[in-house]
Structure 1
Amino acid sequence: MDIVVNEDLQAYIDPLTAEEHEALERSLLAEGCRDALVLWGNVLVDGHNRYGICRKHGLPFQTVQNTRFQSIEDVHLWMIDQHLGRRSVSDFQRGVLALRKREIVAKRRTETPAAPREAALASPAELPAAGGSPPPERLDTREALAKAARVSSNQIVMIEKIRKQAAPEVVAAVKSGTISINAAAAVATLPAEEQVAAAAAGKDELKQAAKRAREARRKPRGEAATASQDTAEAAADSHDTLETLRQRVSILTAENRALREQVATLQQQLQARMGAVPESEDAASPF
């Protein structure tokens, strides 16, 4: 059988680094190709690096058919699950794979049962009989994605931001381990040309760019906090003014009450004095 290497499938998973490829080559030369290559019909699904090294050195290898694949989506889901379970895959790569899996699962759930599946990579005559694939688990929550990728929920959010907003140069930097997921997510919020320039300048500049991005996010929050504090202080001032006015009114009311009492007392005294005038004085009047 002539094995077909499909470029899209080969590129679907991030390639090995030069060091990883050299280590795999040394292992195959020393121990041989112990794991069988996985095929879908005559299309190579898993083992592209081993296949290339074995052909280069003339090493023997075995193949096995996966009869459960019904569509290219089945192949993609299987490839994703295989790599999610490998320790050598970085946190960022696992997060990206989990997000890809979510997209496939969501697409499948929107399809009607009668909707046709995607065309196969190889011709039907070259494919084995389909055995069916179990439905994948739901990945419609952040927690489910984090569990599938074996990362934290916050990391999933950052990885999704990097995937959507980061320039390719920044993505390459986080894939290579030049910067962390956290730093890459911060840099991804900057304009594209600034991201590219920072990536071109190297690790230190990327870290500085991440710092600038974080500070830019904190500034509006600081202004908002200041505005909130000003509002609170203004409210406090208004409250103090109101209390002062209330106290002033209370004092004036008390003073008014005291003045009324004084007036009433004076009136009573005046009436008392007027009532005490002798009648003889009236009789003695010449008028």
Structure 2
Amino acid sequence: MNIVVNEELKAYIDPMSPEEYAALERSILTEGCRDALVLWGDVLVDGHHRYGICQKHGLPFQTVQNTHFKTMEDVHLWMIDQHLGRRSISDYQRGVLALRKKVIVDDQRSRALSETSSSDDPPFDVDTPAGESPADNASALPPPAPLNSRESIAKAARLSSSQVVMIEKIQKQAAPELVAAVKSGVISINTAAAVASLPAEEQVTAANAGKDELKQAAKRVREAKRKPREESPEPASNDQSAKPDAVEALEQRVAELTRENDALRKQVADLQAQLAVQLAD
């Protein structure tokens, strides 16, 4: 059997740790390769580690064809969903996979909308597309649900929305050494996101120094963010010092209005007295 190992597919999902690989190897040597390798034609889609171990020790294995795949994007989405359903991957890995899935789904939906709007044909054709048999059309994968919000991404990854935000920040701002630390589980997502706020040189220095220094760096970042909030009441105290001047000005204005009001009342009283005299005459 000719099996093609596509290096891009092999690297698409983060590889096992040495400990996980050793455990899988022991299991296969003891019990054999129980799960079939998944193929798309000749291309190996799932089971790269199992295939390598079986090749290394000359052990038999089974294969199964997935006939639903039409494009490499279909393969990627299937791989992502398979790994999102496993408990062995970390929270960070699940978040990264869910964000990858969002990119693929968004691209597919954009292309579909573009093709629909640029075509004069009805968007839903009841006929079988040219070049496809009814069986082929029936076996096509259903379109995945859109991931159009952080909440939907978080649900797909079984994370919180805040964790998704932190993972996005790590992907955009973290140095490779910091990413390696959170991938390996040396530090948490929270710690990595905090350290990612630092310049790249400081991230690398902290990552090279190890777990304790990374935690200290994250602590310094959080304290620096808290400090301005703690110092923010100072402008309010300045406002308080300015408050008596404003009160004094208001009091003066009230006094002026009171005097004007008294004068007007006196004028009204004088007019009423003059009117009474005229009526009496």
TM-score, with normalisation over the residues of structure 2?
0.80
Alpha carbons of 1:239 and 1:103: their partners in 2 closer, same or farther (altered >3 Å)? same
CA distance in 2, matches of 1:100, 1:206: 27
- The residue type equivalent to 1:156 in the other structure is V
Deviation (angstroms), 1:244 = 2.7
Other structure's SS at 2:45 match: strand
- Deviation digits for residues 160-198 of structure 1, max 9, x if unmatched? 100111011111101111111001000011100000000
Q: Which runs of 5+ in 1 are unaligned?
A: 116-128, 265-287
- Deviation digits for residues 178-235 of structure 1, max 9, x if unmatched? 11100100001110000000000001110111112112223344455543x2475367
Deviation (angstroms), 1:253 = 6.0
- The residue type equivalent to 1:148 in the other structure is A
Per the alignment, residue 43 of structure 1 pairs with 43
Deviation (angstroms), 1:254 = 8.8
Bigger-Rg structure (1/2): 1
Q: Which runs of 5+ in 2 are unaligned?
A: 119-135, 271-281
Per the alignment, residue 99 of structure 2 pairs with 99
Per the alignment, residue 153 of structure 1 pairs with 161
Per the alignment, residue 220 of structure 2 pairs with 212
Other structure's SS at 1:45 match: strand
- The residue type equivalent to 1:245 in the other structure is Q
Alpha carbons of 1:238 and 1:141: their partners in 2 closer, same or farther (altered >3 Å)? farther
Per the alignment, residue 85 of structure 1 pairs with 85
Per the alignment, residue 4 of structure 1 pairs with 4
Per the alignment, residue 32 of structure 2 pairs with 32
Alpha carbons of 1:235 and 1:155: their partners in 2 closer, same or farther (altered >3 Å)? farther
- The residue type equivalent to 2:54 in the other structure is C
Per the alignment, residue 277 of structure 2 pairs with none
Alpha carbons of 1:173 and 1:40: their partners in 2 closer, same or farther (altered >3 Å)? same
Deviation (angstroms), 1:30 = 1.1
Deviation (angstroms), 1:110 = 1.1
1:267-278, aligned counterparts within 5 Å? none
CA distance in 1, matches of 2:45, 2:58: 20
Bigger CA drift: 234-243 or 15-24? 234-243
Per the alignment, residue 195 of structure 1 pairs with 203
CA distance in 1, matches of 2:85, 2:230: 43
- Deviation digits for residues 15-69 of structure 1, max 9, x if unmatched? 1011111111111111111110001111110000100111111111000111111
Alpha carbons of 1:238 and 1:153: their partners in 2 closer, same or farther (altered >3 Å)? farther
Per the alignment, residue 143 of structure 1 pairs with 151
- The residue type equivalent to 1:51 in the other structure is Y
Task: Say what the alpha-carbon RMSD is for the aligned residues.
Answer: 2.6
- The residue type equivalent to 2:13 in the other structure is I
Deviation (angstroms), 1:255 = 9.2
CA distance in 2, matches of 1:251, 1:64: 96
CA distance in 2, matches of 1:102, 1:18: 30
Alpha carbons of 1:244 and 1:28: their partners in 2 closer, same or farther (altered >3 Å)? same
Deviation (angstroms), 1:242 = 3.3
Alpha carbons of 1:255 and 1:190: their partners in 2 closer, same or farther (altered >3 Å)? same
TM-score, with normalisation over the residues of structure 1?
0.78
CA distance in 2, matches of 1:18, 1:183: 24
